[in-house]
Structure 1
Amino acid sequence: MKNDKLYTVDEAIKLLENYCAYQERCHKEVEQKLYDLKLIPEAKEKIILHLLQFNYLNEERYAKAFVRGKFSIKKWGKQRIINELKFRNISTYNINTALKEIDENDYFQCLEKLAQKKLPLIKESNKFKKSSKLANYLISKGYESELVFKVVKSIF
């Protein structure tokens, strides 16, 4: 049986405060949560305003946390991070601000480490095909093709 509990605005505010306090959230995630709670538009608006007013919801902070996490934990490149943030309707200004969280030296070192780690796992005797597979892997992780080709060229 589905949970069809009806929430008062105050209950929903408490629920959403906890939801946002547990982990950084973007507007899209909060709106989805409010949609799932089946609240009327006026209530949704009131709750979002409350969350913004009391700094539970902050798009710039969310974008910075997202960038730091995806880069340091998942080793994603900037292109993939940008695409994911755009999918979450984060503004270009906040995306650009958040990308400054990544140190350029760390970024390049991370790309090189990923390449070195992946290389022995590619079962291919043809050198050209092997370098091509490595480049495709790094590009799929979201790294810029010119950087990828620079790293792959230095390895081969």
Structure 2
Amino acid sequence: MEKKSFTFDEIKLKLVNYCVYQDRCHAEVEQKMKEFLLIEDAKEEIMLYLLKENYLNEERFTRSYIRGKFYIKHWGKTKIKINLKQKQISEKLISKCFDEIDENDYQKTIRKIYEDYYSKQKGLKEYQRKMKSIKYLLSRGFEYESILDITNN
């Protein structure tokens, strides 16, 4: 398949739209730029433009990512952190943005997922149901300590 060639301004506009459609991180924009045959200087110029005009904002991206993955997908902090690190978001920024998750909501979500999953475990001994439910929560990215706080109360 032949690559269609675009002018610098067309590419810049495409990348603006890419960022407007949904918050992006630097790594995603850099990945997207690979679709276009751009020289380093052009990439840098577009990147600076996106940052300057606030189309690209790593903190805003991180905050909306955390909210979405927790409140919509019900992921735990560990899973969210791992996925953000894969997107080259710094540990410091991730920690700073975790205040997007309300601690009470976090506890309630763990409890609800635990109870829902636990109630579906049929024909098992009590401790087996508990272990399976804890394992399930760990797989969703919740921290062992947080899970234990809930299961022991």
Normalising by structure 1, report the TM-score: 0.92
Q: CA deviation at 1:17?
A: 0.4
Q: CA deviation at 1:153?
A: 2.9
SS of aligned partner of 1:36: coil
Instruction: Give the corresponding residue for 1:149.
Output: 148
Matched, 1:122 2:121: yes
Deviations for 1:93-135, whole angstroms, at most 9, x for unmatched residues?
A: 2211210111111110111011111112224412222111100
Code of the aligned partner of 1:76: W
Residue segments in structure 2 that go unaligned for 5+ positions in a row: none
Code of the aligned partner of 1:62: F
SS of aligned partner of 2:37: coil
- 1:123, 1:43 → 2: CA distance? 60
**Contact residue 67 and residue 81 of structure 1 kept, 8 A:** yes
- 1:74, 1:13 → 2: CA distance? 32
Instruction: Give the corresponding residue for 1:108.
Output: 107
Matched, 1:23 2:17: no
Instruction: Give the corresponding residue for 1:62.
Output: 61
Residues 66-77 of structure 1 mapped to structure 2, 5 A cutoff: 66-77=65-76
- 2:79, 2:23 → 1: CA distance? 19
Q: CA deviation at 1:140?
A: 0.9
- Return closer, same or farther for 1:38/1:124 CA change in 2, 3 Å cut-off: farther
Moved more, 49-58 or 121-130: 121-130
Q: CA deviation at 1:3?
A: 5.2
Matched, 1:7 2:6: yes
Instruction: Give the corresponding residue for 2:134.
Output: 135
- 1:3, 1:21 → 2: CA distance? 27
SS of aligned partner of 1:45: helix
Instruction: Give the corresponding residue for 1:50.
Output: 49
- Return closer, same or farther for 1:106/1:3 CA change in 2, 3 Å cut-off: farther
- 1:124, 1:83 → 2: CA distance? 35
- 1:123, 1:13 → 2: CA distance? 56
SS of aligned partner of 1:143: coil
Normalising by structure 2, report the TM-score: 0.94
Code of the aligned partner of 2:113: L
Q: Runs in 1 of length 4+ with deviation above 3 angstroms? A: none
- 1:40, 1:137 → 2: CA distance? 47
Report the RMSD for the aligned CA atoms in angstroms: 1.3
Instruction: Give the corresponding residue for 1:33.
Output: 32
Instruction: Count matched residues.
Output: 153
**Contact residue 134 and residue 152 of structure 1 kept, 8 A:** no
